[in-house]
Amino acid sequence: MAFAVEEYWAEAMKTAIGIDLGGSHVTAAVITDDGTIHSQHERDLSDLTFERVVAVVAEVTSAARNAAPAKVEAIGIGSPGNIDLHDGSVRYSPNFGWFGVPLGKRLREALGMQVFVGNDARCATLGEYHFGTGRGASDFVMLTLGTGIGGGIVADGELLLGHGFAAGEIGHHQIRPETGFICGCGKIGCMEAQASGTGLIRHAMAVAPSFPRSFLLDPDKGKLGSKKIRKAAQTGDLHALAAWKNYTSDLALGLANVIAFTNPELIALGGGVSSAGDYMLDAVRPRVDELTTMAPKGTTRIEIARLGNDAGQVGAAMMALQGGLDKHG
């Protein structure tokens, strides 16, 4: 299945609420169909039980709707997990521990209006494609490098959904099946396990025995996180540099596979680790070229996503204004 990403342009400018549901907070933004964010409202999530999440989402959405400068036409929410686009239920979300929860139905009841649900990474892809780095590219791939790796694929101007609405789960193809880290999905060496922000931390721990005096391991210097490792690498710390080298090698391997699968014009990298910017790109691009064999080298551009944390909200709003990703449901 595919979603025609240009169809909403036929409509006059309208207003929607785009919601990005994360593991620690939820953000609702009032957005017009030119991609303009008029206001944003955020609430923390301390309890990931389904009913509590529904209550918090309804609360923050109501706040956004009350602040909207015009009538809200529809509401879209990007949620982690595999989404049934026919009814907006979450079939499976490992981050939340949800199985078959009726997210769309409960939010429609709580808010009294239409709510469309899509996968959070696919929504981010949609937002970045329309108004960010992907604008103007007919074949485009988005990857979000955070705690995990989310993804989305646009081919010939259409967002690919797949028969079971799971197309774009790029993070769960294996790149180190024999020697890699165990992924949250249960497999060994998935791209997510190796090249997410969590993967960078794992790489740092894996090489730690070679750096027994590393300040990265000193608890008095703060918690070991991907941002800390990246910043230390940029200052020349040997432990961080070793972890960064292994991390960017795995990221490049995964990206070369994406090019072999989809041969896109452009790949955009979003998520927290992408804040490394050119420091990341300078390490990854040459290695991707080395590993690219069946497509002409250099024909796929690799860039940092422009919309940052706003991409998911913008894409969710566009999904809502178009009437959902599933036009046939």
CATH number of residue 219's parent domain: 3.30.420.40
Q: How many CA atoms lie within 13 A of 58 on its CB side?
A: 18
Give a yes or no: residue 24 inside a domain: yes
Single-letter amino acid code for the residue at 104: G
CA distance 51 to 57: 10
Q: Is residue 173 domain-shared with residue 46, that is, in the same domain? A: no
* Residue % of the chain over a pLDDT of 70: 95
Q: Which residues contact 238 (CB under 8 A, 6 or more apart)?
A: 211, 214
- Higher-scoring residue by pLDDT: 6, 56: 56
- Tell me how many domains the chain contains: 2
| Backbone dihedral angles phi then psi of residue 111, each to the nearest 5 degrees | -100, -15
Is 44 in the same domain as 190?
A: no
Mean pLDDT, the chain, as a whole number? 92
Q: pLDDT by residue (tens digit) across 203-255? A: 999 999 999 999 998 888 889 999 999 999 999 999 999 999 999 999 999 99
Residues 297 and 152 in one domain: yes
Query: Are residues 123 and 160 both part of a single domain?
Result: no
User: Which CA distances in Å does 80 have to 21, 149, 239?
Assistant: 7, 11, 33
DSSP element (H, E) containing 260: helix 238-262
- How many Cβ atoms are within 10 Å of 29's Cβ, its own excluded? 24
For residues 149 and 291, membership in a common domain is answered with yes
Q: Are residues 241 and 287 in the same domain?
A: yes
Range of the domain at 209: 137-306
| C-alpha–C-alpha distance, residues 280 and 275, integer Å | 9
302 is a domain residue: yes
Distance CA 25, CA 42 (A): 7
Instruction: Inform me whether the pLDDT recorded for 161 exceeds 90.
Output: yes
> Are 154 and 287 in the same domain?
yes
Distance from the Cα of residue 269 to its chain's centroid:
9
Contact indicator for 31, 317 with CB cutoff of 8 Å: yes
Residue 203 pLDDT:
98
Q: Which of 286, 306, 307, 305 is nearest to 297 (CA)?
A: 286
Tokens at 133, concatenated: 């780095």
Question: What φ, ψ does residue 227 adopt, rounded to 5°?
Answer: -65, -40
What global pTM score does this model have? Answer: 0.90
